[in-house]
Chains A and B, each alone.
Chain A
Amino acid sequence: MSYTADGHTPAVVADNFTKQFGTVTAVDGLELTVPAGSVYGLLGPNGAGKSTTIDALVGLVQPTEGTIRVLGMDVRASAVDIRRKTGILPDGFTPYEQLTGREHLELAGRANGVDVHTGDVLARVGLTDAADRTAGGYSRGMCQRLGLAMALVGQPDLLVLDEPGAGLDPHGIELLRRIVREERARGATVLLSTHQLAQVEAVCDVVGIVDEGQLVAEDDVETLRRTVGAEATLRIRPTGPLEPAGDLLTDVDGVAEVTVADDALVVRCVDEQRTAGVIAALERSDVALESYEKALPGLEQVFGAYTDER
């Protein structure tokens, strides 16, 4: 990538970025760094300031205070140059009703000064059959795929996707994840904003949690899980009756609660490390195990922990 010859220049740096709409502060002194070559997930509840931040990165809204540098360029001075190297799927992408899918890609290609193999790009997002139909007849999911296709035109250094899963069916979601991984493998940086936790968990290297216009946490998914220190849960199916096993586990160190659900013991441990002690206690006893499975805290818990405590 031309802007990161040293491989260390971040793709995005927001320094004290603040945006006010009248008396409402949408983003409040945001400090954000998106490493080059990463897939960065900007996660937050509705109204947290994600879309405002995304819009500011590409010059759709103007910062009230602070600076934003994208691909090494200041967004106030070089918005057009930034957009030339950035593929953007904005929140609520709206196509031109009278243009076909193919014409949208040609428009994007002309604007960015690149040749586009429209058929290839449309095939990549699964719109081959609708390539020559006007976008006015597209479903919401098809529009979203078209917006993604426009963002991919010209092999951008940075992909900025705002709620890219909106309107997509499960096949579309899977396709989106595949494309994000392919783009990362190509060397592009991907910044995606979403409130869909599964999306972030599936593809992101780094997660930034935004709440009330501020970055409240930032790390990889595993580290965030550990930071929260959330509980782990074991679902245990003994070969014999549940009650003796349940009585045994109640007294094991680190077990917070033992309940029964769906013919299994649900053992809530204070942290992941304590689950090993539970299994060891069962093995030491005469309780034989049919099966057991461990559930680690998901991003739901992490997200909840960071956004509820404020």
Chain B
Amino acid sequence: MPAVAVLFGLAVASVVRGATPPTSGQRPLTLLALVPDGASLEPTAVVVFSLARALTLFVPLVTVVLAAGTLAGEYEAGTLRTLQTLSVSRNAVVVGKFLARSAVVGSVVAAGLGVGALATWVRFGTVDLTGYSVFLVVSVVFALVLTGITVAVSTLVTARSRAVALSLGPFLLVAFLGVDSGLSAWLRTGLLVQPYQLLVAGAHDQLAAVPRLAFRARTTMPNGTDTVEALYLTDEGAFGALLAWPVVLLTLAVRRYRRRDL
């Protein structure tokens, strides 16, 4: 775990060091946009914009490294049988393992992004602590969502390597598909990246979520009046879409694990 934390912190610092606004015509693999509104871009907005893009790849890697072996690794090692000879229920084992891994992954991501805040201050001499804190919290939630999914996969399979493949593969797929403009925005809601970046957009006034901008452009009345925003583009909808995956998968995993022969 310390090695993963150090590498993640270095990766975040590296992104902050190279953080620049996208040039015109660039497709930066993100659903976020920087909107200076006539003012100059603030460093925190640029840093959050860059990190939110990088984290869609970094967080899955960190999560899978730290959580894929949760139950599958213990099953392979034989210690899961040892654990289940004690008077703990199978539900408690899965939930307990999920909470423990969440604490580990959440700590690593929070610490790494803490390094990012420090790197921002070192490079730019200023950090919008409020905005950056919102981004940090949203990113930790994103990491915990991926942790829940990874632990669920690890509960359903019997080998760590299979848990790695079956969680990292889909995560990398959604990192790209989740920002694919060829897919409709409501479909992208189920692909994790869009809801995460919708929430990140709330971290700073100079950040905007492209799906929201596109929706408003399509639905604003000729007289300039806004229509009601689609639920899947609201913060509440995004939060619900993120939570749905780990809740559903963990529930399925627990039910399956309760009946499994060890």
Residues of chain A touching chain B, judged by Cβ–Cβ distance below 8 Å, are: 21, 55, 58-62, 79-81, 83-84, 88, 90, 92-96, 107-108, 111-113, 147, 150
Contacts and interface: CB of A to CB of B under 8 A. Distances in A.
Contacts of B77: 94
B173 interface: no
The 6 closest A-B CB pairs, nearest first, are A94-B78, A111-B86, A84-B87, A88-B85, A61-B261, A83-B87
A62 B79 contact: no
A147 B78 CA distance: 13
Interface of B: 77-79, 81-82, 84-89, 259-262
Given A80-B88, A84-B87, A60 B79 contact: no
Contacts of B86: 83, 107-108, 111-112
Contacts of B85: 58, 60, 83, 88, 90, 150
A113 B86 CA distance: 10
A61 B90 CA distance: 12
Nearest to A19: B261
Given A61-B261, A62-B261, A80 B82 contact: no
A150 B261 CA distance: 22
B261 A21 contact: yes
Given A95-B79, A95-B82, A60 B262 contact: yes
B87 A61 contact: no
Nearest to B259: A62
Q: Which of B82, B85, B86, B260 has the most CB of A within 10 A?
A: B85
Q: Which of B82, B87, B88, B262 has the most CB of A within 10 A?
A: B87
Contact of B87 (A62, A80, A95, A96): A80
A96 B79 contact: yes
A93 B82 contact: yes
8 contacts: A21-B261, A55-B262, A58-B85, A60-B261, A62-B260, A81-B87, A83-B86, A111-B88
Contacts of A83: 85-87
Nearest to A114: B87
A111 to B, nearest CB: 4
A229 B82 CA distance: 42
Contacts of A59: 84
A62 B256 CA distance: 12
Nearest to A58: B85
